[in-house]
Amino acid sequence: MVSEWQSSESSKQLKQLVEAVRASRKYRFLSAEAIAYVGARELARRADLGEAIKVTKRRLHQIAGMYLAREPPYARWLEELRLARASGDEEQLRAVCRRVMSWHASTRERLAVLSTFYERLLADLPSVKRVLDVACGFHPLALPWMPFFRTGGSTCYYYACDLYEDLASFLQAVLEVLGVPGEATVCDVVQAPPNLTVDLAFVLKVLPCLEHIEPEAGLRLLQAIRARYLLVSFPGQSLGGGKRRMAAYYEERFRSLVADCNWRLERFTFPGELVFRIEKE
């Protein structure tokens, strides 16, 4: 049985761990709940606090830190986006969005296919009024390429979430600049999947990250999302550039994961990304 002393000692250690991780520049805006969730598992595996902090940082790097090489200049980008929007020149707006997306490894890999990506994946869907973008990274900056985006003001509601507080504030302002009604929040989808019903959910390149934390987290998330359509994707190559049969590995793993779910699946391939479109009902 865990004594009261042991449990207060472990909550003290967990608090110290969260503070130590958040003291580093790289993780100062990362959700404290997410750090605590990862940290508690690492503390349970070893007695040494210093070692647990080190391993927690390594895991956070795998799930989030590795995609952002440097601190993003959010204030400057917002200014550029506002100016581009005010100019009324859609190409100028798209050029700034592309530049922002190139900062995050995941959206950078998608830049070359933006013009066909949403057309192929979304053109034949019934009207989309509510969208969820889980573990979104910089993906909401691709809104100007999506079919439900309207320069004069979109009516589609866009809900985006990720682990960083500063990213959530930036994306909230981006939605306003783009004239898209919606919300950007901090949410750890391993602990609490977003509680809303939507027409379409983007789950792009997310499952491999979640499975670093918990092998069952991916399927649990897909089951919990209340959406008619889900776009679930996997990277076609590793961040280092190696292909190593990655797409084939992810495809096999994904198909066996959802084998009992009775969902309709369609497969789309793009250079650098493999996408499955799930229809739940």
Ligand X SMILES: C[S@@+](CC[C@H](N)C(=O)[O-])C[C@H]1O[C@@H](n2cnc3c(N)ncnc32)[C@H](O)[C@@H]1O
Interface residue list for ligand X (CB under 6 A): 34, 63-64, 67, 106-107, 135-137, 139, 162-163, 187-190, 204-206, 209-210
CA proximity to 189, closest of 180, 171, 174, 201: 201
Strands 273-279 and 226-235, sheet pairing:
antiparallel
From the number of C-beta atoms within 10 Å of its C-beta (0-12, 13-18, 19+), residue 230 rates as buried
Sheet holding 182-186, edge to edge: 182-186, 157-162, 130-134, 197-203, 226-235, 273-279, 264-270
What is the Cα–Cα distance from 84 to 98, expressed in whole angstroms? 12
Q: Extract the runs of DSSP E, i.e. beta strands, from the chain.
A: 130-134, 157-162, 182-186, 197-203, 226-235, 264-270, 273-279
| Nearest residue to ligand X, scored by beta-carbon proximity | 137
Contact indicator for 230, 203 with CB cutoff of 8 Å: yes
C-alpha distances (whole Å) from 269 to each of 49, 62, 131, 172 are 44, 25, 22, 31
What is the Cα–Cα distance from 57 to 90, expressed in whole angstroms? 40
What is the Cα–Cα distance from 64 to 241, expressed in whole angstroms? 18
Closest contact distance (angstroms) between CB of 179 and ligand X is 22
CA proximity to 90, closest of 172, 181, 178, 180: 178
